[in-house]
A and B are shown apart, each in its own frame.
Chain A
């Protein structure tokens, strides 16, 4: 049995999975480099869990190839793969204590002396002292760590995590995110993490593949995906975006000029993701600067729009404004509460401005609402304390 080859890439090549007429995974090709923390991010039903289960061997692909290093595991039985899974529901064995749960994989592989290894793993996951307890006697966070320890102890070439933090409450989830990241750095194994929580993916992963309808929409480092999304789905699913319809008038040098409702907006050419002239111009709400119109100061090169405040919500660290543009479109603006302008109340005339480098342009053929509010579970701002 092959184990502990921390230098093995996971390659998924032209893999498709159909359930009857439904295509869960559509001709997917992905390379996950050894030692990376890789996140498959997408709404439920996007095929991310099916992809994971095919790698684990719990689901057989309809077509395609899955390689771990140079070994073709496409048709290998799950118990013959150098892969372990942390299940969404943990799936801890209720009849075994924590020690035996963690030792399970080692014992099945016929390892004689498991004591030292198990104790080291319990220490790594901060479970020392709970060895004799049964899973039902532990809290959710502790069970989560047992599930992790049980998989990690086998030193798999690839560790698969299926929504591992989904059952935890928000505070604990944050804590476990950091802890998972620490453990991954410590053991240096390849982690493939499936989640629908964009914040979780961005906090933990080196590389994120955003999946939608069985395909990868965009792949990259979290900051790149967030700052420079290439599809409306990614722009909406990762955070929030404001979109205007625009026409590219010319592309010269580093910047392209786009006309939005008669006004000129400039966008770096590297952030225009289409060759066509019809575009959705996008900008993140927190990139927008909102100022009272009478004494607004806008940098010469910045894009600017005039608008009227229609709503403002105080969220603690920031204030969320809704503003209406001259042509009646509603924009969202997040402003840090560093120096709140008391004049920015509904009805106030304002100038909204932003740097060209924070703008992106996407093909207008795409649905501007793709990826919006797809998942109720995704972290939405807590409405507590909101005023309007």
Chain B
């Protein structure tokens, strides 16, 4: 049976080829030389080499330098490995970075999934408009948008007044997410800021993978005794995993290295590793320590992502 199908397809293809005047003529002169892929790769490779590989190696080297900004830096074999002791010193900030990034990634997913689902399946003619609205915040500066949250979460603003009145802040304070009467300069305000700023990076990949899904698969699932909830769990969710993985990476990675949100919406008590690095570079001007911290942050994220993607195991779906 399959043989029949294959044979029939082959015949069809032959028909197309032998059709006079139809189909493509023999590709001549359209660079099919074996060097073509490499030539096409060169600009991208050069760009990466110049602005990614070399700086990364320099960062690693610089973390081993000794000296100060005034006296100049120098490299002495086998390098100044003491800079890496700062990693342990700032372990709280490292931990907080990954915790906050994890929390905001989780909140982004919880907010973005229903939104992306709605845009992909239910929005009809409003689809394009809604997608534009999702990225509309990018028309305003990142800094301005983050500063706006200072006003939203101001101590005497309506949001916090309501939260105090409803005793929400009291409950959240028990979880050490806020203080008893304020939200600004607490872990919650930083996580909220991160969630808000990175939400579009979650929505767009989720939308892309949901939109690609055949809605008839949900009908098929319901036809096969799945309630809407079961259909979501057994069909829609697994098929949207590539989007979930892409979205969580695009949210988690920049959130883990972010310092603007902790800087503007938090205090030193809730600072993240990004703030420490920024401080080491521009205030303390201890470049080797700053480099060491940056390098460890990068490496940690890389390892986390590696295990995450392996565990998600969505290679076949992408």
Contact = CB atoms under 8 A, between A and B. Distances in A.
Nearest to A156: B223
Interface stretch (B75-83, B108-116, B178-186, B212-220): B212-220
Given A79-B225, A141-B5, A175-B1, A95 B317 contact: yes
Contacts of A109: 225
Given A77-B222, A105-B224, 8 more contacts: A77-B227, A79-B230, A89-B214, A95-B317, A139-B5, A142-B1, A154-B225, A171-B4
B241 to A, nearest CB: 8
Interface of B: 1-2, 4-6, 8-9, 12, 214, 216-217, 219-227, 230, 234-235, 238-239, 316-317
A89 B226 CA distance: 19
A84 B230 contact: no
Contact of A91 (B12, B219, B225, B226): B219
Interface string A151-168: 100100000000000001
A255 interface: no
Main secondary structure of the interface of B (DSSP, over half): helix
A139 B5 CA distance: 7
A181 to B, nearest CB: 15
A382 to B, nearest CB: 12
Contacts of B8: 169, 171-172
B219 A172 contact: no
Given A87-B220, A91-B220, A134 B225 contact: no
A140 interface: yes
B220 A141 contact: no
A139 B223 contact: no
A172 B5 contact: yes
Interface of A: 1, 56-58, 77-79, 83-85, 87, 89, 91-95, 104-105, 108-109, 126, 134, 138-142, 150-151, 154, 168-169, 171-172, 175
Contacts of A108: 224-226, 230, 234
Given A89-B214, A91-B220, A93-B217, A141 B4 contact: yes
A58 B223 contact: yes
B219 A58 contact: yes
Nearest to A168: B5
A92 B235 CA distance: 10
A126 B4 CA distance: 15
Contacts of B6: 139
Contact of A85 (B220, B235, B317): B220
A94 B219 contact: no
A371 to B, nearest CB: 29
A78 B217 CA distance: 13
5 contacts: A89-B214, A91-B220, A104-B234, A105-B224, A168-B5
Most buried by A among B4, B221, B225, B239: B225
B21 to A, nearest CB: 18
A91 to B, nearest CB: 4
